[in-house]
Copies of this chain bind each other. A is one copy, B any other.
Amino acid sequence: MSRFPTAWRECVGTGRMELALRRDYQDSLALIQREIGFRHLRGHGLFSDGMGIHRPYVLGGERRVRHAFTYLDQVVDAYLELGIRPFLELGFMPSGLASGDQTVFWWGGNVTPPASHTEWADLIGATLRHLIARYGIDEVRGWPIEVWNEPNLPQFWQDADADAYHHLYEVSANAVKDVDAALQVGGPAISPGDDKWLETFAAFVSRHDVPIDFVSRHAYTSGPARHVPFGVHQSLAPASALLEQFALPRKQLAGTPLGGLPVHITEFNSSYRPDNPVHDTAFHAAYLAPVLAGGGDLCDSFAYWTFSDMFEEEGVPTALFHGGFGLLTHRQIKKPIFHLYAFLARLAPEFVSRGPDHLVTADDSGRVTILAWAPVDHTDAANSPATHHVLLSVPAPGPAVFLLRSSVDDERGNAWSAWREMGRPLAPSPRQVDMLREAAEPARVHRNVPVVDGRAEIEIVLARHEVTLLELTPVVDETPPWWDDSRLVSGDEQ
C-alpha cells in the first residue's frame, strides 16, 4: 500500500497576523487543531504596523530603529501552544520603512518597496534572530519563509513591478540565509492569472544564484465579482481547474534548476472574495472534495484560505454568515467545508483505492475509512441530481465490522441552511447560536456489517452536495453467551 499524501494538512491560511491575538481566533484555532490538525499557518501582515515590530525613533538627531516583539511573541506562543507552526510571509511594508503610501485592504497594508533595502534586511534579520533565540534553531528551521504576497498584482505590490520584486526577493533571501543557512526561503507567492511570472522569477534566481528552497503560488476558480451590498456573486470554473493550477509549478519548472524544489500552493479556494456565501454551503464542500482527495499528487502543500471568518480584508463582517473564507464562523460554528477537512483528518493513512467520487484508505489494525462525495455541477448549485450511488467492496477483517457514517449535505450538518430558515439573523441570540451549533453537526448512522471472504460490501447513497465519511472498525464479539436482549423486559418467563 502507499500513503495518502498529507499535503492537504501541511498548511492553512489565516487573516492578518495580529488577529491571532484575539480570543475568538484562538478558540477557533484550538477547535481546528483538535479536530483537524494542520501543520502550518500562513497569513499576511507580519511586518505591518499592527504588529508593531519596526519602530523608528530619533536619538541625538539620528534615525534609529527598535525592533519590538511584544505581539509577535504572543502570536507565535499561541500558535505553538495550539500545535501549529508559522509559515512566515515577509510583508507588508511597515509605514516607517515604506517608500510610498499605497495600501491594500480595509486595514491598510502598505504595498510599496522599502525606502531602504538595508533597513528591510535588518528587520528580517532581527526578527529571525529573535525567533531563534526564543524558540530554538531547530524549531525555526521548520518554518518556511515566503517573500511577500502576490507581487504580480498591482494592488499587492506597487505597479506589480517584477524587477522590484526580484530585488526584494534577493535582499530578503540573503538576509534569511545570513541568519542561518538552513532556514527555508522561497517565493514568489503569485496570484493565478499571470503564470509567466513564475518562469521569469525562476530565471532570475537561477541566473543570479539567489537562495531558494521552495516555490509558491496561489489558486482560485472564481470569475469576476458582481457586487451587492455586503456580498458578491461570482461564477466558478470546474474544480478540476484548481488541480490544474496546483500542477502548474512542477510542470513549468521541470528541467530548470528549480525543478526539484518543493511546491507550496500557499492559498487556494473557490472564490477569492471574503463575502461570497458559496463558502458557507454544502455545495462548496462537495465541489472541493475531489481537490482535497487529489491535490497531494501534484504539490507539497495546498493551504485553504482561510481557517476562520475572523478576517477583516473587506472590513468587520456584518453578519454571522457573510460568505467569509472560514472553515468556522465567528463563535465556532462549523461549515460543511470544516467537516470535509475533519473527515480527511479521520482517514486511515494508506491508500486502498479511489475513484471520481470516493477514496478508500486503511491502516494495519483493520480499520477502513471511506470518503465519498456527490459530484457537483459547478454552474448550478441547486439543481444537480438528488441522489448519487456508490457501491464498494472493501477488504475487512471478519466476521463483521462496525460502520459509523457521518454525512453533510444541503440539509444535514449544515448550519447555513438552518440560519436561512431562521431568517438570516445578522447577530443571532445565544440560543440561536446554540441551535446553529446543533444543526452544524453531521448526521450520523451506524450498523454492523457482515464480512464475507474478507470483504464488506458497502452501498452508499449520497444526497445532493453530500460529503460523507464511513469508518469501518473490526468487531471483536464480547457478548456473553448467556445474554439474550429479547428477554430484556420479559423477566422470568422464557
User: A439, B444: Cβ atoms under 8 Å?
Assistant: yes
Interface 1/0 per residue, A51-70 and B, CB below 8 Å: 11001011100000010111
Contacts of A475 in B (CB 8 A): 421-423
Q: What is the distance, in angstroms, from A207's C-beta to the closest C-beta of chain B? A: 39
CB within 8 A of A435: which of B26, B230, B404? B404
Q: Min CB distance, A273 to chain B, in Å?
A: 11
Does A229 contact B485, Cβ atoms closer than 8 Å?
no
Chain B residues closer than 8 Å to A380, beta-carbon distance: 489-490
Chain B nearest Cβ from A236, distance in angstroms? 5
Interface size class of A (residues with CB under 8 A): 35 or more
**Which A residues between 250 and 290 are near B, CB-CB below 8 angstroms?**
277-278, 281, 283
- Contact among B59, B224, B491 with A229 in the assembled complex (CB-CB below 8 Å): B59
CB atoms of B52 and A278 under 8 A apart: no
Contact A316–B68 (Cβ < 8 Å): yes
- A308 CB, nearest partner CB in chain B, Å: 13
Known contacts: A404-B435, A471-B435, A475-B422. The answer to whether A233 contacts B23 by CB under 8 A is no
* In contact, B441 and A418 (Cβ under 8 angstroms): no
Contacts of A425 in B (CB 8 A): 476, 478
CB contact list, A410-438 vs B, under 8 A: 411-412, 417-418, 420-427, 429-432, 435, 438
Task: Tell which of A71-79, A150-158, A452-460 binds the partner.
Answer: A71-79
A312 CA / B331 CA spacing, docked (Å): 26
> What's the nearest-Cβ distance from chain B to residue A402, in Å?
5
Q: Which residues of B contact A208 (CB under 8 A)?
A: none
Q: Does A134 contact B (CB under 8 A)?
A: yes
CB of A303, distance to nearest CB on chain B (Å): 23
